Structure 1
């Protein structure tokens, strides 16, 4: 198929494509879900913990923002180097190396207080994290037969979402001083890397190498899948970062705003396996269309809600529908593509999410400042409605 290219000789019994998988490669699936859940916990803990620690040390918000940019730069660098890395090393070994690399980066945060060292460690953390997600998602699809793809993607999404939600809960227990949170998370990731390596002795599949050219070909071949991930990133970050500000501006307490993020995350994680079941039982395009319709509607009706119970109910529905877009896109990636294009698609998803989340955070905040608090959720809802129209036109074609 387009985008596939000859690769070096593989080890015996290694299957490279989801189209060749008859029975699921459960050790590979377990390794991927274990790895991504572990890193999601680590990222959910360390992302706010780094900011809180730097603030406690007296660094300005601008420098804290620069440090966060290092993580994004690492994500971009790993995407650009993906082709050369997968041509030289097998994807499963790169995942283990990346988990170990993340563990060492977190240990560096615990051992050093130098801003320059933290900047480099944050860059490398983004680099290794991106590899874990890109290669893991490609491997997940390569290891899974199509009849189970939706359910496996749903479990993967649940693990990712639950990990991000659980991470920040450890901050009150571990504190933001002394580096204990970083040190314990580093040990946790090292243990997961070892467990993942043990599982890989029993795997039968591995994704094929890809190239930067394959990534750009995927953008051209699957604009709607890329658009789904962009829409997910836009709406997801708007919900996490802008909506708590919206609640405070609308007169709710800061405690309510904080609770809303938990209400957003937990039902979303619980719902993803059920979304995956629907993806295996119903036409996948219809499930994706329903998800974006519900997400758009939840944003549009949020400003009219008065009761806090009703607001939190809509917010939970919003999170579930928004994250379901990603579960749908991941499932449809494995359904439609194989070989090198699986890794290329996962890399394209990473770039689309980065672009969508950046736009969602910046634009929603600016629109709220210019047009008032209610303009924030309404603008996201209108954007999702426009994307719904694009999906419907594409289905008719």
Structure 2
């Protein structure tokens, strides 16, 4: 008799639970980042400290990820995910009780440690449970939930305000709601053991092309998210137009994700990745040069967001396609390390380029990022092709 988690309907329910949980996890992140930035500004903190606070979760992930898979599977899949949410909830409880820059830097790092576990293990669960024929679409739904929650956070924060206890209560409630479907579906979680606590770096070498997609996604997403308003301002566009371009980029990532997931289930995934890397610099050029035509700029930026975010989904799909379930957790840890490296490295480089060649240095930088990604992916694709024929 098959185990409960092995039944197709049980797998679907388990996937639905993780995807639903991911939305609330994204919502908590989407509240936490702008709430921290606005509070630091209110307290008169310098910009570099605000940036440091924004980078604390990424720093926590980089520190912990090499050890996270082994630790998580000693605790158990669902207990580790729920415990991580509980650490994040504790952070939101302590923030209004400790209203200082120094305390919040520590709390943001602590919350980054906690919220790493539902992020890492949720992706592992989904990739282990998804059927190969629908893997791209399932992962795209995960991406929609994550970025949809992330995008909804600032909108909700705009409605409830950033002062008083209400934003902390709402963020804590979001993390509580993230735990409920996980606990309800605990018996449906896939069994992942064996080498689940293995070396992330060693497993990453098995899928270099899929790993490169994580770095590319982090670089391309955050270069735009961090600097697109500044680029628009230096072009002489008003603030509303700049924010509109960021909104178009983010919602392009959410809206077009399923379409790229559908393509990933019907095409050779490495070849699709190469095609996307060819398209990205071209669309970036159009979006930058079309800023005098608001409608064209919004449409091109919308497509650009879809392309940038799709690299994350596609990279995860390549991992799930090529690795055993036992290897998914350490591979996903390495994947997230590369993604975080991209998110941390790209904005300063693109910002420096924009300062050096105002304003077009930004556009030159992101096109350069895309071309570098294409060259890297082509090299890795050829290496993998030679391995298969050897």
Question: After TM superposition, is the score higher than 0.5?
Answer: yes
| Conserved 8 A contact 1:143-1:206 | no
1:238 maps to which of 223, 232, 235: 223
> Is the 2:198–2:327 contact (alpha carbons within 8 Å) kept by the matching residues of 1?
no
1:3 corresponds to which residue? none
The structural deviation recorded for 1:246 is 0.7
What is the deviation of 1:232? 0.9
Kept in 1, the 8 Å contact 2:73–2:197? The answer is: no
Aligned residues: 381
Structure 1 residues 243 and 90, CA, compared in 2 at 3 Å: closer, same or farther? same
Residue 96 (structure 1) aligns with: 82
Q: Which stretches in structure 2 are left out of the alignment for 5+ residues?
A: 386-390
Matched, 1:307 2:307: no
Could you say what secondary structure the match of 2:227 adopts? helix
- The Cα shift of 1:228 comes to 1.2
C-alpha separation in 1, matches of 2:63 and 2:196? 13
CA deviation after TM superposition for structure 1 residue 87, in Å = 4.1
Correspondence for 1:298 among 257, 269, 283: 283
1:14 Cα deviation from its structure 2 partner: 7.8
2:211 is aligned to: 226
Q: CA deviation at 1:64?
A: 2.8
Give the drift of 1:142.
0.8
Cα distance in 2 for residues equivalent to 1:103 and 1:287? 39
Deviations 1:170-208 (A, max 9, x none): 12211111131111110221133123211223x051333
Any idea what SS the aligned residue of 1:207 has? Answer: coil
Report the counterpart of residue 72 of structure 2 in structure 1.
86
Q: What is the aligned partner in structure 2 of residue 136 from structure 1?
A: 122
Residues in 2 aligned to 1:209 and 1:65: alpha-carbon distance in whole angstroms: 40
Counterpart among 152, 164, 169 of residue 155 in structure 2: 169
- The 8 Å contact of residues 25 and 178 in structure 2, kept in 1 or not, is answered as no
Corresponding residue for residue 242 of structure 2 = 257
Q: SS where residue 205 of structure 2 aligns?
A: helix
**Distance between the aligned counterparts of 1:392 and 1:118, measured in 2?**
43
* Aligned residue in 2 for 1:281: 266
Partner deviation per Cα, 1:332-375 (whole Å, 9 max, x = no partner): 11000123320111111111111111121110000111122112
- After TM superposition, the score normalised by the length of structure 2 is 0.91
State the Cα deviation string for residues 261-319 of structure 1 (Å, max 9, x = none). 11111232121112111111222222222222222211233332231111111111110
Q: 2-side partners of 1:285 and 1:41: how far apart?
A: 31
Say if 2:13 is the partner of 1:13: no
The residue that corresponds to 1:75 in the other structure is 61
| Larger displacement relative to structure 2 (150-159 or 84-93) | 84-93
Give me the TM-score of the superposition, normalised by structure 1. Answer: 0.89
List runs of 5+ in structure 1 lacking aligned partners: 1-11
Task: Give the CA RMSD over aligned residues.
Answer: 2.2
CA contact (8 A) 1:23 1:145 kept: no
**SS at 2:191's partner residue?**
coil
Shift of 1:23: 7.0
Identify which range, 73-82 or 263-272, moves more after superposition: 73-82
Q: In the alignment, which residue of structure 2 is the partner of 1:356?
A: 342
Rate the CA distance shift 1:54–1:386 in 2: closer, same or farther, 3 A.
closer
1:113 counterpart SS class:
coil
Secondary structure (helix, strand or coil) at the match of 1:281 reads: coil
Tell me, in whole angstroms, the C-alpha distance in 2 between the residues paired with 1:73 and 1:63.
14
Offset of residue 77 of structure 1: 3.1
> Quick check: 1:302–1:377 contact (8 Å CA) kept in 2?
no
Whether the aligned pair in 2 keeps the contact of 1:292 and 1:388 (CA below 8 Å) is yes
